[in-house]
Amino acid sequence: MLRLIAAELRFRRGRALALLAGIAVATASFTVLTGASQSSKLEVRGQVARHFRTAYDVLVRPRGAPSALERQRGLVQQNFLAGTFGGITMDQLKTIRHAPGVQIAAPLAIYGYIMPTAQITLPVAKHLKPKQRALFRLRSSWTADGGAIHLRDADSYIYVTPNRIQAPPPRAVGTPNQTRATEFFSSQSFAGICPSRSSAASAYAPAARRWLWCWSTDGTLGRSDYGVERHAPATIGARVQYPFPLLVAGIDPKAEAALDGADRAVVSGRWFKGDEDAQLLGKEYTKFRVMPILAASTTPTQLRADYAIDQLPRAAADAYGRAKDDTTRANRILRAASGPTVARRTITATDAYNVLLRQMRAVQDVPGLWTTGPQRYALTARAGTVRPLVAKTDRFAWGAASKLDGTGTGFIQAPMLGRDTGYREFREHLQVPAVPPPYFTMTKVVGTFDPNKLAGAARALDPFHAPDAQIEGGGTLAPDGNPAGYLIAPPALLTTLKAGIGLLQPNLFGQENDAQAAAPISVVRVRVAGVTGPDKASRERIRLAAEAIAKRTGLQVDVTAGSSPTPVNVALDRSKLGRPAATLREGWTRKGVATTILNAVDRKSVALFFLVLLVCALFTINATSAAVRSRSTELGILACVGWPARKLFTYMLTEVALVGALAGLAGLLVALPLGAALGLPVGGWRAAAAIPGATLLALLAGTIPALRAARAEPLAAVRPAVRTGRTTRRGVRSLAGLARTNLVRVPGRSVLGVASLGVGVFALTALLAVTAAFRGAVVGTVLGDAVAVQVRTADYLAVAATLVLGALSVADVLYLNLRDRSAEIATLRATGWRERQLTRLVVFEGIGLGLLGGMGGALLGLGAAWAFTGQLTTTMPLVAAAAAGCGILSAVLASLPPAAALRRLNTATLLAEE
């Protein structure tokens, strides 16, 4: 039997070599892909393990804190602290800390915004002349959102007199106008000067924004921001106000230091002294509470103020002084006067914040506390895009209980961007003297910390990470100082939970704080004990701890270990102040991505293995079936001489197995250098399994054709080994029609060729679509690093192998069709058909197979990619069309060798055989 098999392989080399080549390609692809998969698994698991866990494993929030969008998509919103002012009680914190598996539970209580103001001097002393009055106009403007918003603020004025001044005369309550100081024109003549309105419609009305500084060069006294004071002559000028809304948060210093190393992030001053309380200062009737504050060393706010000082004519200065308390006359003089610009100054938010930090090292008053509501979203017509809903803001939300300083209109110096579109409900809580004492709560900065030095500071889940968003088309959007705006800065001021209670006293800030005082904690970040990485045991510990916390407290519990930033498109409409409409790409957080990735990396490898094996099996079945059909006469003779069915079956299967073993050896010889070139581990058990694997594949694929061979009839020895196939009753009038008819004659064979090619196009479409959707990563990214199920070079090699095998199957189908129709082709030649027409006929048959396999595989691949990624991007149909084109081109190229073989068929010999 072996001698007969050897003779068959020697005299039928074409068929044997084609079968050997197909199995060898599959073996080499399988061996290389196995090594690539193992390398990919190790790399992915290593990177997931390194980034699986940062500061905490579980995030606990008040019930109902997540938005509807977060719940629907399994996300945690960027700026997840925004709008969450309390909601978790101290008893619930104690319960969380006693839950099984909890190692650290670090609370964060968001109290609200305070509104300190950086005071920056713009001197004019060098422009003064002795014994002369001087008048200056201060023009100011604000620029935000990368220059998209440019606002002109109200003009302010600097009045300087050589005469002595003092506090303004008293005025009756309700008087519409006020004066800023009293000037002594002579020993017998004095009057109020620098008149202004004493009320305004809102914090953004001109009267509330205009400042008047009245200075004297005699006796170094002047009316500044906080009354008449002694000053150095060099400081005469404008003292511009740069307001900063700063979010205050309370922490447990011990838990915070253990969780993210906050104590090691201190860059100046000191860390808290344990659970430090506020300091009580003052006497019995003037007691006040001073909270220790740790301030962020930098600010993410992007805002710029540009100032220009114009020196008005001396005549205008004299006329302004003589106007005394006549507001109408004084304002007319200010509006009419003009003069050259003598000074310019640009102050960025960073500049002003650095000044503010120095000022806040002294005790600072807290006139009020402001809170905002959560952000709400609505879905848009554009898939995957949401729109934030606008919230109305009370125009009187910038008042103060007592304002003898500033502009004197009853409003604090509100941030200029605060009048832009608001996306959060904005509420004010004014501080009033408490009974019994202490009467007031104040602040004092004891140190600064660098948010970038906190553990996990680069993550969207870090509460101290400054939010930003990429603008579609280029650029970024950052916080602009509007506390009710879309993007807001993270907590900038930290205090202890014990000291922070002073900001929640209902007798200080109103009864609206009752609920927050009862449940002051906004979130709790939990680290679970015994977690070492993304292994199943660690994940189970996290799950059990999260379930225990949820069951015992009833709070919202999210497992954040192994989460990943995921892009969310946000459509912002044009704002009231002129920021153009834009689509933002934000980095929210998808929960549980690490587990998804570890599972998906295995699924991807199995899928590619299956596709390669499927195409190889289809090719082998087709090739072996063709061998059985072409040797029906020979098998019939063997049946005539007494070969039983069992021996015929063994004969055919042994031949296929021998070809499979040789193909495995050839595939191994190709895989070893290819793996070395790609840096993939293909040695060891992979190399050892190549030959037996190829043999087993050949045996499995050859079983059905071998069974058909075992049923060979003795009469087949006298019948021609030609398939008649199906016939058609319709006339054929074109080459394309004849090609279609030829493919339908043997439908099973054509289906095998279409299926083989379609599998390769399917794999290519899915791979290209995933690459287009996720830039090469199937599931996205884990913790900001590209460690997902990435589409690698070896994956494309595997897909290329399936395409090659599909093309070989097409070539095999076409070649077998020609063999079966050799007499027909000889007849066509004899009747005058030219070689060019016959070649076109074969190519048309290849195109037919290519269209069916390419388009079918592309559509299935596009559907699979859509189902897998959950989205259909504009590029995915394009790559599907490109993959279909590759399939059609492969089929056309595969038709050329059979067309070339057609030329070598001798017409006379074929007719004689017929």
- Burial (CB count <10 Å: 0-12, 13-18, 19+), residue 373: middle
Contact 521, 95 (CB under 8 A): no
Write the single-letter amino acid at 538. S
3 state SS of 95: helix
What pLDDT score was predicted for residue 307?
98
Among left, alpha and beta (phi > 0; psi -120 to 50; other), residue 479 is: beta
Contact 581, 573 (CB under 8 A): yes
How far is residue 310's CA from residue 314's CA, in Å, rounded to a whole number? Answer: 12
Write the single-letter amino acid at 717. A
Which residue(s) pair with 119 in the sheet? 241
Contact 549, 526 (CB under 8 A): yes
Question: Tokens standing for 301?
Answer: 């706010």
Contact 371, 402 (CB under 8 A): no
Name which of 243, 496, 275 is nearest 370 in CA terms. Answer: 243
What pLDDT score was predicted for residue 577?
92
How far is residue 211's CA from residue 448's CA, in Å, rounded to a whole number? Answer: 32
Query: What is the H or E stretch that residue 194 is in?
Result: strand 190-197
DSSP calls for 240-286: EEEE--EEEEEE-HHHHHHHH-GGGGEEEE----SSPPPEEES-TTS
Contact 823, 913 (CB under 8 A): yes
Write the single-letter amino acid at 382. R
Name which of 349, 399, 353, 321 is nearest 157 in CA terms. Answer: 321
Name which of 327, 353, 324, 73 is nearest 207 in CA terms. Answer: 327
How many residues appear in the chain?
Answer: 914
Q: 3-state SS string over 629-676?
A: HHCHHHHHHHHHCCCCHHHHHHHHHHHHHHHHHHHHHHHHHHHHHHHH
DSSP letter (8 states) at residue 375: P
How far is residue 869's CA from residue 791's CA, in Å, rounded to a whole number? Answer: 14
Name which of 302, 364, 354 is nearest 146 in CA terms. Answer: 302
Total Cβ atoms within 10 A of residue 678: 16
Name which of 300, 305, 291, 310 is nearest 250 in CA terms. Answer: 291
What pLDDT score was predicted for residue 721?
46
| Percent helix / strand / coil, the chain, rounded to 5 | 45, 20, 30
Write the single-letter amino acid at 513. N
Q: Where are the alpha helices (DSSP H) in 821-874?
A: 822-830, 835-869
Tokens 């319960």 — which residue? 95
3 state SS of 890: helix
What pLDDT score was predicted for residue 1?
62
Contacts of 333 (CB under 8 A, 6+ apart): 316, 319, 320, 323
Query: What is the H or E stretch that residue 517 is in?
Result: helix 514-518
Residue ranges in the chain whose pLDDT is less than 50: 42-44, 46-48, 224-226, 401-404, 717, 721-725, 775-790, 913
φ/ψ of residue 214, rounded to 5: -115, 120
Contact 462, 213 (CB under 8 A): no
This prediction has a pTM of 0.68
Tokens 């190549």 — which residue? 690
Q: Is the dihedral of CA 73, 74, 78, 81 positive or negative?
A: positive
Write the single-letter amino acid at 782. V
How far is residue 422's CA from residue 375's CA, in Å, rounded to a whole number? Answer: 10
What pLDDT score was predicted for residue 152?
95
3 state SS of 446: strand
DSSP-derived pairing of the beta strands 246-251 and 493-496: parallel
How far is residue 488's CA from residue 308's CA, in Å, rounded to a whole number? Answer: 29
What pLDDT score was predicted for residue 70?
82
Query: What is the H or E stretch that residue 831 is in?
Result: none
Which residue(s) pair with 248 in the sheet? 112, 493
What pLDDT score was predicted for residue 786?
32
Angle (CA) 625-627-628 rounded to 5° is: 65
3 state SS of 448: strand
How far is residue 848's CA from residue 810's CA, in Å, rounded to a whole number? Answer: 10
3 state SS of 755: helix
- CA 375 to centroid of chain Cα atoms: 19
Q: Is the dihedral of CA 321, 323, 324, 326 positive or negative?
A: negative
The most distant pair of C-alpha atoms in the chain lies apart, rounded to whole Å, by 147
How far is residue 48's CA from residue 317's CA, in Å, rounded to a whole number? Answer: 71
Write the single-letter amino acid at 303. L
Which residue(s) pair with 58 in the sheet? 526, 559
How far is residue 291's CA from residue 502's CA, in Å, rounded to a whole number? Answer: 8
How far is residue 615's CA from residue 601's CA, in Å, rounded to a whole number? Answer: 22
How far is residue 384's CA from residue 392's CA, in Å, rounded to a whole number? Answer: 26
Write the CA distances from 797 to 394, 562, 730, 760, integer angstroms: 63, 31, 44, 11
Contact 276, 499 (CB under 8 A): yes
DSSP calls for 113-174: EE--EEEEEEE-GGG--TT--EEEEEEEEEEEGGGTEEEEPPPEEEEEESS-EEPPPP--TT
Question: Tokens standing for 152?
Answer: 């002109």
What pLDDT score was predicted for residue 380?
84
Which residue(s) pair with 269 in the sheet? 447
Write the CA distances from 396 to 115, 400, 411, integer angstroms: 15, 10, 8
Contact 415, 242 (CB under 8 A): no
